[in-house]
A and B are shown apart, each in its own frame.
Chain A
């Protein structure tokens, strides 16, 4: 099993994505189509000839087949918002029906065909449905229409024919325009050059109709777009209106254009009126009217009847027939029974219709002739939504089938398709995958007729979250089509290949273009930061966050479940699959493994070895002897007297490596203390070997002799040894005494760690704070985002000292430790030395003496000097920059407050937000912070604190005040950001509202109607009073 290596694995070929997911159901290969087909089990019947208990697609198919067997006419309308799966269901019905229908049944599918009428007509011509011999005339007419649609000047033809339609078409009373403005002026209006250019412009109504009619417009119309006029097409801009006014055109045109500008309802009425004339105009343009098409299909039905054949028509989208659609609907509704219709063949038809078409275009008198009226919309939802993907399980089912098809080669699916399309025999891409045992428990799998299908690289939560967040921006609805295109297709096509490059999932904001990323729920907002802290790399942190937000439960809470740890409800395998670190989450890490046991001690024979070495041979037991000698050196020299601390000593005499004997057999490092071959050294080694390996029952004289030998030898070599220990490394000199170096490092680190206070500025206070910092073992500086709390130099300084910080804190206490008496077990801190160093530093005005960086392999020196070097170079600049930033902050906030007190400003903010709420004016929820948590008094305090920084008299006070003010500065940033954002909101709102007011003023004060009414009242009253006054006078 390969399951342990389930990482960065892609189980589909990228080219399969676009083969399996295609915008149009009818454009997908039959094998892929059937393999991805998910049964529709909840088709809503708005009307049916009898009560329907089984609402599945199978039952619908059965209803059709039974109808065909009983020779029953059926006119089925499948309604739904675009993307609900109408085309998909119609194609499935067609394929299934065709496979099971009798031989004399002619089954024909009219596709949406790039959404243009010409393609639709060509499709009918090429289908062979009209016999070229017996139905030559009909074919000729269709071909003629198709040719007309390919001609130049189609736009003007349509406009001309619309104008003709205004004169010739007699609409029923209820469909005529009520407005006399339209009735009287439309003729001239459609002739005006400016108006014609406006209607013909890119994206305008005529261009849309053109796109629908002609193949010359490749894009066709979007599937949710009905070709025709819309009210917005007559919302002319000022420039056009001025053109019309100045152009010297007809007064009728100006009058109608002005009225359209003032009355939105008039635009709507005009659009509806012209749409009613559109069929006539298109028919006249194509020389093929709805009546012509109706007669053609009647002829076809007669022809089939003569051949004893029946007809079943599947029409993907009736919109594809716009212009001649009423003729087609008439044909479909006409039965084959009754005195006049007996020469027609039986017709069963299923047509796809969008909601808007059914509402606005479908003839009312035909609605009652529909035998089965079905819909795929979700009647429970308040937004436009398909009923198909109503819960996470249904969405996962659909996803699993598509993923499975993508994992399989097309040849495999074609073979299955040829084999009879048995659902239970559909190949399963997961069946032979050796990762499935890891993949399915981690990412989840869906049970299907052909076995469990894994949801990798998604899981149920990710799919549902992405789907549910579709349409949040108000631009797309939630339908199977938008799900397939905007979730499955987009994510796999855009990011699928990143799995192998360890870049999947991408950051949450980049995941999709039509759905918005979720955020951490209330109370878990800090989890983003937890992820950042627990991931070493910012990029990785963003990917982990994306994983948690989409795949997980949008928290990094860690729990134990069935013996495994879950973070954000996700097991380790999910993180591993995308090569992401399995972060600890919100509780502490588990126990660490024990270190491996030390290797067994080597055997040696030492005395002969020393003798041989003394006599010029190699020294074999040099390791033990070096240890013995190191111990001697460490114990017998008074290091304090040489101002050497235990840290230096331990570092220079780590084990035996620092002590090297001339001509020893083993390798030597680069930095060591060499002892030449000599009689004295050999005697010392004898003595040490005897002390360490002998029976220790020495005679007093022997013991004393050994001690004397050691003492003399040490005395001779002490100075050289001390110099060696003081060195940070080979050929290096001590840049500063180590205690001073570390103490100054830690002092400034404490400042960066925000633990110093301006009132605690004496040497004693500073020393106590430093030691407290060492003790608290919090030697970790949080690197905050630059824009939040600190200047770039401060942040970069924090970053550069981070690696050496722990070493400085750890060793400072050690270098200051002194043994009390001879015990070696009781130690105290050498405060006197530290205070001397700090006092000197204070007196120097916090000036760090310059040193060169020590390239030592001893941590305390390398880290300590590196930290020191960084502080020396950048600390002063960092605090100066901080001072500048605080000044900038004060200036910015001062400008934003604009002479008002913070309290006044926050009161105004609260009032405005209340007002916006009251007027249901939308704004981002983040601004409510201004009412809930932000206070004018707090801002006032922050301002005072930051002004104090500006007033700092010297570097020491500046550093101490800045150290104490970090939280204040963070809070300040929150306030200034809030005020800045709020100000932007206010400015944007002012502009938006001003525009709205202008528009509303135009709309609401059109003609100052209220004033006119008042005037009329007064005039009438005056007139009446003239009569009544006469009466009064007479009285």
Chain B
């Protein structure tokens, strides 16, 4: 009677001690949970971004980003292990969050690199031809397309729709420029004209013929070189 009851009391006391500890840890738990939820939301976004662009970026970029994801995973796993003994993990989670911020920067940089490789040839061609009389009418439309694309430079596509939007806009610009039908020789000539390095020697028959078509001849002037 007494033996069983007193043993029960001992067990209850132990239980109370544990519960007291648990009670005292409520605030720590709340803080940890809060930090963890924030990080989870953040990391989920990053993963989503990454998954959207991983097949567009270079192998080295991809590798670098995944290493960083791995480091965040290591941080979180360590914090998870420590959580059993120490309920307040805000600091550790904050560290992981800092790492995630760096990862986000890398993601942006990778995307920018990809963006540049995709848009640069078109943008350069557009710069070359927009002074030509036959392009003048399309200039506004082409520049709008460029402006639309430029919006994607500073912000990663947030979802597949945005990414498809980017792809479509890029394709649209490329098609419009292709329709102008510039031969490679003409493109080279125009490029030199734009950079101020074109000489009379550049005016081969094909180029000369192209210059004299329509009203193009009025668009070119001859100057003495320095």
Contacts and interface: CB of A to CB of B under 8 A. Distances in A.
Interface of A: 895-900, 904-905, 908-909, 911-912, 915-916, 918-919, 921, 979, 982-983, 986-987, 989-990, 993-994, 996-997, 1000-1001, 1003-1006, 1009-1010, 1012-1014, 1016-1021, 1023-1028, 1030-1031
A900 B3 contact: yes
Contacts of B43: 1020, 1023-1024
Interface stretch (B12-20, B143-151, B173-181): B12-20
Given A997-B16, A1026-B47, A1004 B40 contact: no
Contacts of A1012: 33
A1016 B37 contact: yes
A993 B1 contact: no
B32 A1030 contact: no
Nearest to B54: A1030
A1028 B19 contact: no
For the complex of A and B, the 10 pairs showing the least CB-CB separation, nearest first, are A898-B1, A1004-B22, A1000-B19, A1031-B66, A1024-B73, A912-B6, A1004-B23, A993-B12, A1009-B29, A1017-B80
- In this complex, the member of A895, A918, A1009 whose beta carbon has the largest number of chain B beta carbons within 10 angstroms is A1009
B73 A1028 contact: yes
A943 B10 CA distance: 28
B79 to A, nearest CB: 8
A895 B1 CA distance: 7
A909 B10 contact: no
B63 A1016 contact: no
A1020 B80 CA distance: 10
A1000 B14 CA distance: 13
8 contacts: A915-B13, A990-B8, A1000-B22, A1006-B26, A1013-B83, A1024-B43, A1030-B66, A1031-B70
Nearest to A916: B13
A1009 B66 contact: no
A996 B16 CA distance: 8
A898 B36 contact: no
A997 B2 contact: no
Q: Is the interface of A mostly helix, strand, loop or mixed?
A: helix
A1012 B6 CA distance: 35
Interface in B109-138: none
Contacts of A896: 1-2
A957 to B, nearest CB: 33
A1004 B3 contact: no
B19 A1001 contact: yes
B9 A1004 contact: no
B2 A983 contact: yes
Given A990-B12, A1010-B87, 20 more contacts: A898-B1, A898-B3, A899-B1, A908-B6, A915-B9, A990-B8, A993-B9, A993-B16, A997-B19, A1003-B19, A1004-B19, A1004-B22, A1005-B22, A1013-B32, A1016-B37, A1017-B79, A1021-B76, A1023-B47, A1024-B73, A1027-B69
B66 A1027 contact: yes
A986 B9 contact: yes
A419 to B, nearest CB: 65
B155 interface: no
A989 B13 CA distance: 10
B39 interface: yes
A780 B30 CA distance: 75
B83 A1016 contact: no
B36 A982 contact: no
B15 A997 contact: yes
B4 interface: yes
A1020 B32 CA distance: 13
A503 B75 CA distance: 80
A1019 B1 CA distance: 48
Contacts of A1030: 66
A1021 B47 contact: no
Contact of A1000 (B5, B10, B23, B73): B23
A954 B43 CA distance: 92
A989 B15 CA distance: 14
B166 interface: no
B97 to A, nearest CB: 11
Contacts of A1006: 26
Contacts of B63: 1031
B13 A919 contact: yes
B1 A1016 contact: no
Given A1013-B32, A1020-B43, A908 B26 contact: no
Nearest to A894: B1
Contacts of A1013: 29, 32-33, 36, 83, 87
Contacts of B23: 1000, 1003-1004
B37 to A, nearest CB: 6
A990 B9 contact: yes
B5 A1023 contact: no
Interface string B78-95: 011001000100000000
A1003 B6 contact: no
B22 A1010 contact: yes
A453 B73 CA distance: 84
A1006 B19 CA distance: 11
Contacts of A986: 2, 5-6, 9
B77 interface: yes
B195 to A, nearest CB: 42
B6 A911 contact: yes
Given A909-B2, A915-B10, A1031-B63, A1025 B19 contact: no
A897 B44 contact: no
B72 interface: yes
A1024 B6 contact: no
Interface string B36-69: 1101100110010011000000000001001101
B40 A1009 contact: no
A348 B30 CA distance: 52
A1019 B50 contact: no
B76 A1024 contact: yes
A1017 B76 contact: yes
Contacts of B22: 1000, 1004-1005, 1010
Most chain B beta carbons < 10 A, residue from A989, A1003, A1016, A1020 = A1020
B216 interface: no
B7 interface: yes
Given A896-B1, A898-B4, A1010-B87, A994 B36 contact: no
Contacts of B1: 895-900, 983
A99 B83 CA distance: 72
A855 B14 CA distance: 71
B132 to A, nearest CB: 47
Nearest to A1008: B29
Contact of A904 (B3, B19, B30): B3
B198 to A, nearest CB: 48
A1024 B72 contact: yes
A897 B9 contact: no
A1034 to B, nearest CB: 8
A1027 B47 contact: yes
A631 to B, nearest CB: 73
Interface string B144-165: 0000000000000000000000
Contact of B40 (A905, A990, A1016): A1016
A1013 B26 CA distance: 11
Contacts of A908: 2-3, 6-7
A420 B137 CA distance: 115
A990 B16 CA distance: 12
A994 B17 CA distance: 13
A993 B14 CA distance: 11
B6 A1017 contact: no
Nearest to A1019: B40
A41 B67 CA distance: 76
A905 B76 CA distance: 50
A997 B7 CA distance: 16
Nearest to A901: B3
Contact of A990 (B5, B14, B47, B51): B5
A1009 B26 contact: yes
Contact of A1016 (B25, B36, B51): B36
